[in-house]
Chains A and B, each alone.
Chain A
Amino acid sequence: MAQKPGTMAQMRNGTSGGDKRQYETEVIILNQCRKLNGQIFIQRDYSKGLDVQFEAEYPARLTEKVPRDVWENTIVRINRIFADAEAITPQTIFETVLGCFTCYASYAITKSTYRRKLDELQEFLNRENREIYHHVGFHIRNPMERGLRVLEISLLSRQGETPRDDVDSPGGAIRTI
C-alpha cells in the first residue's frame, strides 16, 4: 500500500468480467481522504427518544453535488430501517420468548431482527454509494463503525483532484489550533 502523501488512490485492473468491462475498480485509502477533505457528520436525532435516528437536515457540503431530494430520500430510508429495527413486533416478541425457553441457544443460532435490519442497511448503503454518491465523490459509511452515534460521509478525493475547497493547504486538518 503506497503511503506517500501524494498518492491518494491506487489503480487496480478491473477484474469483473462480462458487461462490466468498461469499469475498473479503484481502491481509495479512506484515512487520507479524511485528513485532506474532512468528513461530514450527521448527528443523532434524539428529539423523539433514544431510538436510533439521524438528523434529516441537508448538509451544506452536499450542495451542488447531491440534490436535496436525493439526500432526503437516502436519510429517510436509513431512518426507516432503524425505526423498523427498534419496533416491537410479534416477531421480536417471539424471538425473545423463544430465547427464554431455549436458554438463549436460539440467540446463538438465529440472527436477531435488528441484525437483519443492519444487513439490510449495509446493502442499501452499498447500493446508494455505488449508484449515486461515488459518482460525486462521497461515501456514506455504515454508522455501526461509529457506534451509531454519527453517520459519517467521507469526501473522496481521487488522483489529481484538489482537496477541500475551504482550506488552502493540505495540512489544514492539523492547522486548526
Chain B
Amino acid sequence: MALMTQRLLDEEIAIDEETERSRDTERHETHVNQCEMSSSFSATSPSTSSAYQLEEHISAPRATPELPPSDPKRRKWQSHPGRNRFGCGGRLVCSRSHGAFVVTVILMIATLTVYFVFDAPFLWGYSPAIPIVAAVLSLIVITNFFATSFTDPGILPRVDNIEIIEMDRQQANGNGINDVAHLRPRFQDVVVNGEHVKMKYCTTCRLYRPPRCSHCAICDNCVLMFDHHCPWVGNCIGLRNYTYFYRFVFCLSILVIYLFASAVTHISLLAQEMPFGDVMRKTPGSAVVIVICFFTTWSIIGLACFHTYLLCADLTTNEDLKGLYRRKHRPTPPSSTPSTSAATNSSVGHSTKNPFYAGCFKSFFGRLFKSRFPSLLDARGYLDPHPTIEIRVPKKSEKSIENH
C-alpha cells in the first residue's frame, strides 16, 4: 500500500519537476500592470515573456518611476504574480487548478451524505454514540481539509526591482566583475548545522531559494518548506499548511476505516434477519459506502503512515522523493563536480545527513506545535510603491532649512 501512495506522489512530483524545468527558462514580467483582476474571487493571469536577464536589468530602473499613481485601495493580492486564486479579500489562498479539488469535495460530501442517510439512523438505534463519533470525525476532517486548501502554504513573495539592482551593484562592487552571468551563480552554498546545502537561484522569483524551499510549477511560486503540490486539496503543501494537511490525512484515514466498519456492521446485522438480497434493497447506501471506503482506504492509510514517517525523520515529500539525504544518491565522483564548487573540496555536494533532523520526537512535535508562521504574502496589505517614512528632526536644524 505504501507503494501505491509512493506512485501517486511520484506522479505529482513528476508533473512538478517537468513543468518547472520548462518554466525555468521563461521569465515573468514583474510589473504591476496585472490589474485585470477586480472581482473578489478572480485569478491572476501572469504574462510570461522570455526576456533576457540583461534586458530586464536595464529596463528595470527606468520602468519604476513611470508607474501610474496606484489606487490606494489596491491590495497586494490583486497584483500577485503567481497562479493563485484569492478569496474573501485576500484571506483565502489556493491554487488555480482545481479539477481534482472538486472531485475530492464531491466524493467526501457524497460518501458522508450516504452514510448519514442510510447507516446513521439504523446505528443510532444501537448506540447514539456511533453516529456522533462519525459526525465529530467528519467535522474535523472537513475543517482541516478546507484549512489546507485555503491557507497560504508559505509563498515567498517575489523580489522587486530595487532590491535586485542593489544586490547586483553590491556584488559587482565587491568582485569587480560586470558580467551579469557571473553576478548571479546558479547556486549558493550555505552551511546548515555543519552540512553543506545548496540554495538554487529561482529565475522566476529572482531569489536564492532558502533551504527546503522549492518552486511549485503549478502555482508558480516559491513555497517555504515545500512538501508537494496536492491537486486533491487544490493547493501546495508547505510550511504554513502542512500541519492542517497532516491532521486531515490522519483523521481521514481514521474516518474512512470507521465508516467502512460501520457500514459492514450495519449490513451484517441486517443479514442475520433477512436474506442478503433484501438487505441490498433496504440499504443500497451501505454498499456504496463500503465500495468507496474499500478503494480509498489503502492509499489514505499509506499516505498517513508515509507522512508520519516524514514527520519523524524531519523530511519533506520533495526531499524524500529526490532522495537528498540518502547515501546512494551521494553524487558524482569528485572529479566530475562542477568547477565552481570544486574550489573548496569534494565534501561539497549533496550531504548524506539531514541537517535539519533534531531527533524523532523533537522533529515530530516541532513541526506540529510551532506557532503559526505569518503569511509572508501579506495578501491583505495595501500596495505601496512609494513607501515613505517619517522621522523627527530638531526644528531649528540649520541643515535642513538653510540648504533649501
B156:A174 contact, CB within 8 angstroms = no
Q: In whole angstroms, how far apart are the Cα atoms of A42 and B65 in the complex?
A: 26
Q: In whole angstroms, how far apart are the Cα atoms of A86 and B395 in the complex?
A: 42
Q: Is A76 an interface residue (CB 8 A)?
A: no
A28:B400 contact, CB within 8 angstroms = no
Main secondary structure on A side of the interface with B: mixed
1/0 per residue B43-62: CB within 8 Å of A? 00000000000100110011
| 8 Å CB interface, A2-26 against B | 3, 9, 11, 14, 20-26
1/0 per residue A112-138: CB within 8 Å of B? 111100100000000001100010000
Main secondary structure on B side of the interface with A: mixed
Given contacts A158-B399, A160-B400, contact A23 B392 (CB under 8 A): yes
Residues of B within 8 A of A50 (CB): 192, 210-212, 225, 356
1/0 per residue B129-172: CB within 8 Å of A? 00000000001100100010000000011000011011111101
1/0 per residue A80-95: CB within 8 Å of B? 0000011010001101
Residue from B65, B147, B170, B365 within 8 A of A3 (CB atoms) = B65
Given contacts A38-B170, A112-B371, A160-B400, contact A25 B192 (CB under 8 A): no
B376:A27 contact, CB within 8 angstroms = no
Residues of A within 8 A of B147 (CB): 104
Q: Is B295 an interface residue (CB 8 A)?
A: no
Residues of B within 8 A of A21 (CB): 395
Closest chain-B Cβ to A37's Cβ sits at a distance in Å of 10
Residues of A within 8 A of B404 (CB): 159-160
Residue from B178, B386, B394, B400 within 8 A of A23 (CB atoms) = B394
A30:B388 contact, CB within 8 angstroms = yes
Residue from B162, B374, B389, B403 within 8 A of A159 (CB atoms) = B403
Residue in chain A with minimal CB distance to B60: A174
Q: Is A177 an interface residue (CB 8 A)?
A: yes
Residues of A within 8 A of B243 (CB): 96
Residue from B58, B143, B173, B386 within 8 A of A31 (CB atoms) = B386
A177:B178 contact, CB within 8 angstroms = yes
Residue in chain B with minimal CB distance to A88: B369
| 8 Å CB interface, B164-194 against A | 165-170, 172-173, 178, 180, 190-193
- How many residues of B are counted as interface, with CB atoms below 8 angstroms from the partner's CB atoms? 67
B400:A34 contact, CB within 8 angstroms = no
Residue from A30, A46, A96 within 8 A of B192 (CB atoms) = A46
A26:B210 contact, CB within 8 angstroms = no
Q: In whole angstroms, how far apart are the Cα atoms of A113 and B374 in the complex?
A: 10
A173:B61 contact, CB within 8 angstroms = yes
A149:B210 contact, CB within 8 angstroms = yes
1/0 per residue B365-384: CB within 8 Å of A? 11011111110101000000
Q: Is A70 an interface residue (CB 8 A)?
A: no
Q: Is A66 an interface residue (CB 8 A)?
A: no
A176:B211 contact, CB within 8 angstroms = no
Closest chain-A Cβ to B223's Cβ sits at a distance in Å of 12
Residues of B within 8 A of A23 (CB): 392-395
Q: Is B273 an interface residue (CB 8 A)?
A: no
Q: In whole angstroms, how far apart are the Cα atoms of A23 and B390 in the complex?
A: 12
B166:A173 contact, CB within 8 angstroms = yes
B372:A22 contact, CB within 8 angstroms = no
A25:B391 contact, CB within 8 angstroms = yes
Residue in B61, B390, B393, B403 whose Cβ sees the most chain A Cβ within 10 Å: B393
B369:A24 contact, CB within 8 angstroms = no
Q: In whole angstroms, how far apart are the Cα atoms of A112 and B169 in the complex?
A: 38
Closest chain-A Cβ to B167's Cβ sits at a distance in Å of 7
Closest chain-A Cβ to B177's Cβ sits at a distance in Å of 11
Q: Is B304 an interface residue (CB 8 A)?
A: no
Q: Is B259 an interface residue (CB 8 A)?
A: no
Q: In whole angstroms, how far apart are the Cα atoms of A144 and B375 in the complex?
A: 9
Residue in chain B with minimal CB distance to A114: B371
A176:B169 contact, CB within 8 angstroms = yes
Closest chain-B Cβ to A6's Cβ sits at a distance in Å of 11
Residue in chain A with minimal CB distance to B178: A177
Q: In whole angstroms, how far apart are the Cα atoms of A166 and B173 in the complex?
A: 10
Residues of A within 8 A of B400 (CB): 9, 11, 26, 158-160
Residue in chain A with minimal CB distance to B180: A177
Residues of B within 8 A of A14 (CB): 392, 395
| 8 Å CB interface, B22-63 against A | 54, 57-58, 61-62
Q: In whole angstroms, how far apart are the Cα atoms of A26 and B366 in the complex?
A: 45
Q: Is B249 an interface residue (CB 8 A)?
A: no
B372:A49 contact, CB within 8 angstroms = no
What are the 6 closest A-B residue pairs judged by CB atoms, nearest first? A160-B403, A113-B371, A147-B376, A114-B371, A103-B143, A134-B391
Binding site for B on A (CB under 8 A): 1, 3, 9, 11, 14, 20-31, 34-35, 38-39, 41, 44, 46-50, 85-86, 88, 92-93, 95-96, 100, 103-104, 107, 112-115, 118, 129-130, 134, 139, 144, 146-150, 152, 154, 156, 158-161, 166, 172-174, 176-177
6 A–B contacts from the bound complex (CB under 8 Å): A26-B391, A86-B371, A112-B374, A139-B389, A160-B403, A176-B168
Given A92-B370, A174-B62, 19 other A-B residues pairs in contact with their CB atoms under 8 A:
A1-B386, A14-B392, A23-B393, A24-B392, A26-B390, A26-B400, A30-B386, A31-B386, A35-B61, A39-B163, A41-B167, A49-B358, A88-B366, A93-B369, A114-B374, A158-B399, A159-B403, A173-B166, A177-B168
